[in-house]
Structures are given as C-alpha cells and as structure tokens.
Amino acid sequence: MAPAERLTLHVCQGTGCVSSRSPQIQAALEKEIVQSGISDRAGVKLTGCHGFCQRGPIVIVEPEGIFYSEVKPEDAVEIVRSHLVDGKPVERLFYIDPISGKPVPRYQDIMFYKKQHRVILRNCGHIDPEKIDDYIASGGYKAIRKALLEMKPQQIIDEVKKAGLRGRGGAGFPTGQKWDFCRQAPGNKKYIICNADEGDPGAFMDRSLLEADPHSVIEGMVIAAFAIGANEGYIYVRAEYPLAVQRVGMAIRQATERGYLGKNILGSGIDLDIHVKEGAGAFVCGEETALMMSIEGRRGMPRPRPPFPAQSGLWGKPTIINNVKSLATVPVIIDRGAGWFGSIGTPKSKGTVVFALTGQMANCGLVEVPLGTTLRETIFTIGGGLLGDRKFKAVQTGGPSGGCIPESLLDTPVDYDSLNAAGTIMGSGGMVVMDDRTCMVDIARYFINFTTLESCGKCVPCRQGTRQMLDVLTDITEGRGKPGDIELLEELGQGIKDGSLCGLGQTAPNPVLSTIRYFRDEYDAHIKQGRCPAIACKALIEYQVDLQKCAACGLCKRACPAEAIGWEKKKPATIDQAKCIKCGSCLSACPKKFGAIVVSSPGIPEVA
C-alpha cells in the first residue's frame, strides 16, 4: 500500500445528506471498491456536515479535493470505476457555479468554500465524527493537555478574555468575563452547561457542529470546567436532533474511555462527568435560566437576574452556560493563542461567525466568515446570490428575536454592534434571504405567531401583548387593516420590550418593528389599498386564467381540489373566484410552456 496515493471518499452524513440517502451511497461505494479489487488503494470515510447541504449528498475525493454534488446511490459504480480505477473524474457530478455556469471540479475552488474562514467548523466534513482517533489526528485534545497540565485556571480565563471571545449564542457577552464571575463565586459544586437548544427556526449550525465534530465541544467543556472549577456538566440538546444526540453520546463514551472525561483527567486530578439532556420542544429553554429549570425537571420559565447563573444557577450552584460554538472555539484559542484568534475579525467583535444561509439563495448551507464581513459578500459572493432571476428584498438575522435588513444596508459589516444598530441581532446565526415574493407583513406575522406560541406565559406583556400584535397583523394580512394599526403595533412592541423579563419577550417585537422601519410602504399598501405588493397574502390575491395563453388542456381542472375551475374541451378554463381557495394547485399544474395561470393582487400589474 502506498499511502501517498491512497484515495479516500469522504461521504457526508449530516442530517441533510442522510435525508437524501447518503448512507446508501456509502454502502454502494464500499461494495464497488471491494468488487473492483482496489481496497488497497482506496477507501470510504464517513464525515459530518460539509455545510453545502443544498447540493447534497456530497462526496469529496481526497487528497485531490474533487467535489461531487447531488450524488445518488446509483452513481457509486461510475465514481469507483471511472474515477478511482481509470483516473477519470465523473464530470456530470461536478458542481456548476451559479454565476459563471461553469463546472468546478475541486471544492477549494468553489466560491462557497473559497471565501470562508473556518475556525469553528475546522474539522467539519474532514473527520469521522464517530472516531475519536480522527479528531486526535487532526490536532484534537491537544489543547486539553496544555490547559490542564501546563496552565492555571486564571491563565485560561485571561487567555480567553484576551482573545475577546464573545458568546456565539447571539447575545455576545464576553465569555472570559462570565467564566471569571463563576470562578470567583464561592462553593465547591459548580456546573458547566453546553447550550445546544438551537430553537431559532432557520438555524442549524449547532446541530451540524455536534453531528460533525462533537469532540471539539467536549474538549471545550473540559477546559471551561477546569477554568471555573466545575466537575459536572450537561449538554442540553433539542430532541428534534436525533443524530446529534446519538453522536454526542458516542463521543462522550469514547472520550471517557480515553481518559479525557471522568475521574482524574489525564492525571491532572480534575474530574468531569457530562450528561446529555434532551430538550422537549420549548423555544424559551434557549434562555439560560429557563434551560436550567428544564434540566431540573420543571416548566422552562425564566426567572429574574440577578442572581446570575454564574453565582446561582443549576440547583442553586454557580453555573456557566455557553453556546456550542463558543465551546468549540475554546480549544483553538488555547492551542493557537489569543493573539492569533484576535487577529481575525474586528476590534470589538473578534474571531469568526457561522451563519446558516437559507431562504431564496442559490447556495444554501453553513458558512463561516470573519466578523466584520459585509452582508453583501456573504450573500452574493459566498452564497452566489438569489435563486434564479429573483430580486433581493431583505435578509433576516437573529430568528424571532431579530429583524429584517433591507438592500440599502447590505454593505453593513456583520458584527454584534452594527447589527444591533440596524434593528436586528446577530442571534445564533440564522440568515434567511428573502426575495420580492416574500411579504414583509406576512413575515412579521409569522414571527409574532411563533413567539405567541412559544411565550412561556409568565410576563403579561409578552403573553398578551404578542397575541394582540398577532391579531393586528392578521387583520392587516387579511385585508382588514385600519388606519392607526402601525402606530398601535409600535406602541405594543415597545410595551412588550419594556415589560418582559427575558430575552424572548424583550426581543419578540423586533421582527415587526424592523419591518415597519424599513418596509412601511408594504404595510401601507395592505392597509390603505388592500393589496399585497409581494402577491403573497392569500386574502389579497387572485388567480386568473390568461385566455390568450390557455391551451385548454384541462390539467388545471384536474388539479383543483375545490372544483373552482370550469373547463370544456377546446375552451379556455375559467376560475370561479367564490370557490377558489387560492391553493396554487392550478398554477403548478399549468405546463410552463403555457404559463396561463396568472396571480395578481388588485391594483398592481400582473406578475406570473
């Protein structure tokens, strides 16, 4: 065997790729390699998420770096025979650049990857998350030795402080400072908690990281525990992430076997046990005091701070709660030093940030960029711009706590402070791009509906105020808006912000207030003219047949579930507006070459 020539097929097995049958691809590749008799010079390796989920399942041939996208199990034979045996890569599986329209064989040359700076996601897609040796081989568990055997707790805290690491869960509180509070808090029993209750709809970086590189989070937790003096830890992860739960459990077992967890870690005299707690589907449990209530087996309802968890947290003991990404960053800071880390990013927001780039994008997936990178660069250069020929309207960050940013602010450098100034927040990293078909009032209603359902009910302004806002927004989107509604929303929003205990209530009005701030004309169009400029609000749109274009094929009649379409052979179809439920079935049934179904919102030119 000649190791230098050995080719390894990295098969992505994150949730996205698994859903499009990557385990079957791996099995088929393994089988074909054996059958072709090349097991001595080629192998298959399971990896976590590569981040480019939209183009999944992804297979990368290393060390060449040939990138295959949207692979099917049936492609395995061709990949093995053509590429591995004959040395001819399978061109039809190459990624096509959305801007140039040309195939790009190597992943290092794909814009989506080329412009990223991967620190937190350093191992994702490169190592087998189910094998601790793979993590160690890529430099893992090196920082833990340095921290536990060569450094003092205060030195670690100082290093993290010097690095300027701010909480990657979204609020951006300095991590080192938080650790310092906890270290100084009296008591022998302290806890370290990893917050993996990634509840923001539209965000999935914590899931990917836990699935792809669970040991980096565990290593960060051990270092944090040593720094603050904790000997027990929890990873609180959503039950909706079964694969992450499974991989974390496996990693904890392996780390314990190797002496990186448990009693007397690496002979340092330090103990740490980590338990996995599965969340049960409550968004508010991402808030730290609610999360601790949930671990204690209670309803996840936040409590006032102070006392802060660093002084009195889980079971009344000093507790540190850090986000998955913050913890995964800690080993790199210890290993490469605060100076190196601080050289990335901006003076006030150092390091990198991971975004889940989704929505109407050409390239959806996980991207990691230095803080301070502009939205334009992230969305248009890395993300490849919008799908098809659609026009950018807004980008939403921070989930239900954040806001929508218009095109005029696309050159905003992304950091904690600039996003706050723009009326949104960094949040945990969801970045949803919206095009001209997305109605901003409907989006505001969508988020308020979410927070109404997820409000724990403790604070009246949040519990009742969000419901009132929802009612007003529902009225507007259904054509019952009144003059004064916008002002009422603003007043309610301010009241909820002022009168709520936790981050959920304090930020719940952001999606509404930011859309009013930047897209007030859309609210006005709904209220004053009864039309939805994005042609999205059901109550304000109409489906009609373009008689010139209708080929009288009758497909729309067959598709209509409401019997609203009248059609006879050789006669164009008609839509009975009284019966139409506006489901869009006719539109998707009408063959593209005819395009005879037209949607409009009265008062504006027709748009297909």
Partner 1 sequence: MTDMADLKEVMGSIFRERRGQRGELIGLLQAVQAKLGYLPAEAMMAIARFARVPESQVFGVASFYAQFRFTPVGRKRVMVCQGTACHVRGAPKILEEVERRLGIKPGETTPDMEHSLDTVACIGACALAPTLMINKETHGKLTQKKVTELFQKNDGTGGD
For partner 1, the closer of residues 153 and 359 by Cβ is 359
Looking at the Cβ atoms of 242 and 259, the one nearer to partner 1 is 242
Strands 191-196 and 319-323 turn out to be parallel
- CA torsion sign for 116, 120, 124, 128 is positive
Q: Are 202 and 447 in contact (CB under 8 A)?
A: no
Residue 25's alpha-carbon distances to 73, 83, 152, in angstroms, are 4, 16, 48
Comparing CB distances to partner 1, the nearer of 147 and 366 is: 366
Q: Tell me 97's DSSP state.
A: P
**Cβ-count burial of 545 within 10 angstroms (0-12 exposed, 13-18 middle, 19+ buried)?**
buried
To the nearest whole angstrom, how small is the minimum distance from the Cβ of residue 191 to partner 1?
Answer: 12
Q: Which residue has the tokens 């994702």?
A: 124
**Closer by beta carbon to partner 1, 167 or else 400:** 400
As measured in angstroms, the least distance from the Cβ of 585 to partner 1 is 6
Q: Which CB sits closer to partner 1, 175 or 360?
A: 360
Structure tokens at 272: 């740490």
Question: Between 68 and 241, whose beta carbon lies closer to partner 1?
Answer: 241
By beta-carbon proximity to partner 1, the closer residue of 164 and 279 is 279
DSSP state of 24: H
* Pick 254 or 451: Cβ nearer partner 1: 451
Q: Do 222 and 156 touch, CB atoms closer than 8 A?
A: no
Q: How far is the CB of 299 from partner 1 (least distance, A)?
A: 4
At closest approach, how far in Å is the CB of 151 from partner 1?
A: 33
Distance in Å, CB of 208 to partner 1, minimum: 8
Q: Name the residue nearer to partner 1 (CB basis): 88 or 299.
A: 299
Q: Least CB distance from residue 85 to partner 1, whole Å?
A: 32
For tokens 């808030």, name the residue.
287
- Taking the complex as a whole, the smallest distance from the CB of residue 350 to partner 1 amounts, in Å, to 27
DSSP H stretches of helix in 104-213: 111-114, 132-137, 142-145, 153-163, 175-184, 205-212
Least Å distance, CB 23 to partner 1, is: 12
Rank residues 183 and 317 by Cβ distance to partner 1 and give the closer one.
317
CA distances from 76 to 12, 79, 85 (A): 14, 5, 12
The minimum distance between CB 454 and partner 1, in angstroms, equals 8
Which residue's CB is nearer to partner 1, number 111 or number 334? 111
d(CA 25, CA 11): 8
Question: Cα separation of 275 and 253, whole Å?
Answer: 11
For residue 242, the minimal CB distance to partner 1 (Å) is 6
Per-residue DSSP letter, 424: -
Q: Which residues contact 164 (CB under 8 A, 6 or more apart)?
A: 174, 338, 341, 342, 345, 348, 349, 350, 351
Q: Which residues bind partner 1 (CB under 8 A)?
A: 15-16, 18-20, 52-54, 56, 198-204, 207, 238-242, 277-283, 294-300, 356, 358-360, 364-365, 396, 399, 430, 432, 434, 438, 443, 446-447, 450, 454, 456, 561, 583-585, 588
Using the minimum distance from each CB to partner 1, give the nearer residue, 151 or 541.
541
Whether 319 contacts 304, CB under 8 Å:
no
Q: How far is the CB of 80 from partner 1 (least distance, A)?
A: 26
- Measured from the CB atom, the residue of 338 and 597 that comes closer to partner 1 is 597
C-beta of 266: minimal distance to partner 1 in Å?
A: 29
Question: CA nearest 38: which of 107, 94, 85?
Answer: 85
Those residues whose C-beta lies under 8 Å from the C-beta of residue 200, and which sit 6 or more positions away, are 283, 286, 398, 399, 400, 401, 427, 428, 430
Contact predicate 193/233, CB 8 Å: yes
Q: What are the beta bridge partners of residue 388? A: none
Pairing of strands 352-359, 430-435: parallel
Rounded Cα distance, 63 and 351, in Å: 28
* 492 vs 387: CA distance, rounded Å: 36
- How far is Cα of residue 94 from the mean position of the Cα atoms in its chain? 25
Minimum distance between the CB of residue 224 and partner 1, rounded to whole angstroms?
Answer: 22
Nearest to 603 by CA among 541, 521, 548: 541
